[in-house]
Chains A and B, each alone.
Chain A
Amino acid sequence: MNPELEILLIAVVTSVACALPGVFLILRRLALVSDAITHAILPGIVVAFFLTGSLTSPLLVVAAAATGVLSVVLIEAIHRTRLVAEDAATGLVFPAFFSLGVVLVTRWAGKVHLDTDSVLLGELAFAPFDRFIVGGADLGPVALWMMSGILLLNLALIVVFSKELKLATLDPALAAVLGFSPVVLHYLLMTSVSVTAVGAFSAAGSILVVALMIAPPAAAYLLVENFKPMLLLSAALGALGAVGGYGLARWLDVSIAGSMAVVCGLIFAAAFTFGPERGLVSQFRRRSAQRVEFGARLLAVHLLHHEGTSREGVECAVSNLDVHLGWSESVVGKAVAFSLARGLTIEKGPVLRLTEAGRRFAEDLTAGVA
């Protein structure tokens, strides 16, 4: 495999591995836990790195993931004392962990291959240099193997506990009543997030893991309604973000991790703007359609009110409607067009009149109104 394909593969696998637990984080209102965990694993990584001398050893993954879970435990413990609110507890714990990590790195690890930049920012371009060699055979980059393993773990977690996770996410109280322990599931999920963050940090850097965990699931959340489609779509969007980000990075020759985050953000922005049901554009369309429909209703009632009266010729002349209804001409035009198209009204010379259907429509609307 050539290095470029390897980098792309690592990016895609990392992105998908992050998107899967991300779905649960979004749905459980835990999105910022990913931010906390990705920062809090730093001291674990540093200490384990001192001990093992390798950034990809399994011990490092375990130690760093344990630090991540520990930070979650600590946040919850502080929150439970009710001395500070939950957001403040989060904001207190992870900077402390992170600072500890930074101080450890800068003071004692300056000479070895681990610096704050690589931890914070990540550099995917170097990933293929670290090869996984068994008995002299080169099996590909270590990072690819590690992230694939983590992806499989996350998949296994979701497949095995799909029912439990779904229930505990959507209705924690019911889950507890039925005897699934939400606490155990919660910590399983936190462990998965921590392990994923540790695996991904060397490729993506701690802050960009947050983008990979939040942006694709948040975009999927705006596009689909059900659990399984959301998982699948998140994974797909994550992969798309990875491929697009890699392409962008190659094109502009900039940071791969950074452009992956940017592309994921763009994907979210697209879903936010153009989502078929919930996007800004369709929200706007729906609202203006409702406005026109409402206008047609009022118009029908107006016509009914003046039907057969002496002033009908004045009140119901299309050219006078804007004055009598107090609307702008364009609103009147849309409402008239709508009612004509629906067969509620017909034009008789200059005057707009209700059809039989339009009369019934207007009478239904005014029924019960004295």
Chain B
Amino acid sequence: MALGAGLLGAVSGFLGSFAVLRRQSLLGDALSHAALPGIALAFLITGGKATVPILIGAAVTGWVGTLVVRLIVRRSRVPYDAALGLVLSVFFGLGLVLLTVIQKRPDAAQAGLETYLFGQAAALLRADVIVMAVVATVVLLVLMLAWKEMKVLTFDRAYGESLGLPMGRLDGLVTALLVVTIVLGLQTVGVVLMSAMIVAPGAAARQWTRSLGSMVTVAAGIGVAAGVSGAVLSSLFPRLPTGPTIVLILSALVAVSLLMAPGRGLVWRRLQLGRLRGRPRQEPVLMHLHALSLQHPDDPEHGHEVSVLRTMSPPDTDVDAALTALAERGLAASDSKGLWAPTEMGRREAQRTLERLDRGDKR
């Protein structure tokens, strides 16, 4: 059963990465809520808790939910977020109505349905785990076979269309896979929290890496770690629901990633800012030196007083420190009389900066 949660984590990591990058994070939320009436309907129709019909029911209404969202956005001025919220809550309400219908039935074998709200990894059967493994393999296969296309779809759909790639069909396929993943997750994590399962691994992985391939891999790893540890913890302690436990572990991983990830993390950024702040601003001083040397075309290394540079620079610039730093980098030099001039290297560097500014490059 920890295996099932782990597999689920892996698949959500794979697909969630794309959802996060494509700003569809909340689609999963709407989808998982929209699955509830399907679960209840399947139960009403088949009269039992057999896994397969229930999953099919959930997938069907989840899919209908995404279609309704798309229809509302295309055919009215109601914005996307409102359409999502609308579908999510109304479908959930419908599911709730159906659940109360089920509760009134005399056979009352409905106890199992409540686990779909918050999930229970312990309720997973061997067959469920096998289904999950199959889905995970399919997702992995699709990703490997259509890797380039997925990449184009994620980052530049219009370009993909111009190449004649079937972007629309691929989009449909990805949404379908997402629906299947969410439906599978309903048993483990539950309707309410499945969206976190989709968003969190991708969002956390994004902080650690800059390439899609490694992001997807890291996301899957994070999903597995959270899934397995959440399932194990919730089976060790009594009355610790599986879904929320997994989500809390995921949230902790996300928090750590946002804070600590090298390059992007907040702590890292703070450190870097501190380092930059400690250093004197050298660029303006170098540019001034260069401007002065341009006044002497025949003698570019004509020396200038520090006081001149001080006058030219903004009042809070530590000109002496900047000059020392520039000298250390070999960009400027002073002569015996304490007069400063840019070196050949310094002039080239300044010229490059000027060209960059000309191009409007803000770096």
In this assembly, does A70 line the interface, its C-beta being within 8 Å of a C-beta of chain B?
Answer: no
In this assembly, does B84 line the interface, its C-beta being within 8 Å of a C-beta of chain A?
Answer: yes
In this assembly, does B280 line the interface, its C-beta being within 8 Å of a C-beta of chain A?
Answer: no
Task: Give per-residue flags for B79-118: 1 if the beta carbon is below 8 A from chain A beta carbons, else 0.
Answer: 1011111101111111111011100100000000010011
B96 touching A85 by the CB < 8 A rule? Answer: no
- Asked whether A222 and B199 contact (CB < 8 A) given A117-B114, A255-B96, A258-B97, the answer is no
In this assembly, does A167 line the interface, its C-beta being within 8 Å of a C-beta of chain B?
Answer: no
Within 8 A of B (CB), among A210-225: 210-211, 213-215, 218, 221-222
- Asked whether A32 and B84 contact (CB < 8 A) given A92-B203, A102-B118, A103-B241, the answer is yes
A261 touching B89 by the CB < 8 A rule? Answer: yes
A85 touching B243 by the CB < 8 A rule? Answer: no
- Asked whether A258 and B100 contact (CB < 8 A) given A96-B196, A283-B75, the answer is yes
| Residues of B close to A211: CB separation below 8 A | 86, 89-90, 92-93
| Residues of A close to B23: CB separation below 8 A | 85, 87-88
In this assembly, does A49 line the interface, its C-beta being within 8 Å of a C-beta of chain B?
Answer: no
- Asked whether A215 and B244 contact (CB < 8 A) given A106-B239, A253-B104, the answer is no
| Residues of B close to A261: CB separation below 8 A | 89-90, 92-94, 96
Give which listed residue, B86, B101, B203, contacts A252 with CB less than 8 A: B101
Q: Which of B24-32, B136-144, B146-154, B322-330 lines the interface with chain A?
A: B24-32
In this assembly, does B195 line the interface, its C-beta being within 8 Å of a C-beta of chain A?
Answer: yes
Give which listed residue, A81, A117, A268, contacts B86 with CB less than 8 A: A268
Give the total of B residues in contact with A, Cβ under 8 Å.
63
B26 touching A87 by the CB < 8 A rule? Answer: yes
- Determine the main DSSP class of A at the interface with B: helix
Query: Which chain B residue shows the least CB distance to A261?
Result: B93
Known: A88-B202, A264-B93. 7 other contacts (CB 8 A): A92-B199, A207-B33, A213-B85, A255-B99, A258-B93, A258-B99, A280-B75
B89 touching A208 by the CB < 8 A rule? Answer: yes
In this assembly, does A15 line the interface, its C-beta being within 8 Å of a C-beta of chain B?
Answer: no
A95 touching B251 by the CB < 8 A rule? Answer: yes
In this assembly, does B240 line the interface, its C-beta being within 8 Å of a C-beta of chain A?
Answer: yes
B86 touching A120 by the CB < 8 A rule? Answer: no
In this assembly, does A153 line the interface, its C-beta being within 8 Å of a C-beta of chain B?
Answer: no
Give which listed residue, B78, B88, B244, contacts A35 with CB less than 8 A: B88
Residues of B within 8 A of A (CB): 20, 23-26, 28-29, 33, 72, 75-79, 81-86, 88-97, 99-101, 104, 114, 117-118, 192-193, 195-196, 198-200, 202-203, 206-207, 237, 239-241, 243-245, 247-248, 251, 254, 258, 264-266
B79 touching A31 by the CB < 8 A rule? Answer: yes
A84 touching B203 by the CB < 8 A rule? Answer: yes
- Cα–Cα distance between A100 and B91 once the two chains are bound (Å): 25
Give the total of A residues in contact with B, Cβ under 8 Å.
62
Q: From residue B221, how far is it (CB to closest CB) to chain A in Å? A: 18
- Which 3 interchain pairs have the tightest Cβ spacing? A261-B93, A265-B90, A258-B96
A254 touching B245 by the CB < 8 A rule? Answer: no
Q: From residue B183, how far is it (CB to closest CB) to chain A in Å? A: 18
Query: Which chain B residue shows the least CB distance to A84?
Result: B203
Q: From residue B249, how far is it (CB to closest CB) to chain A in Å? A: 9
A26 touching B79 by the CB < 8 A rule? Answer: yes
A32 touching B81 by the CB < 8 A rule? Answer: yes
In this assembly, does A343 line the interface, its C-beta being within 8 Å of a C-beta of chain B?
Answer: no
Give which listed residue, B29, B86, B97, contacts A254 with CB less than 8 A: B97
- Asked whether A265 and B20 contact (CB < 8 A) given A83-B264, A90-B26, A92-B254, the answer is no
B266 touching A81 by the CB < 8 A rule? Answer: yes
| Residues of A close to B24: CB separation below 8 A | 87
| Residues of A close to B258: CB separation below 8 A | 78, 81, 83-84
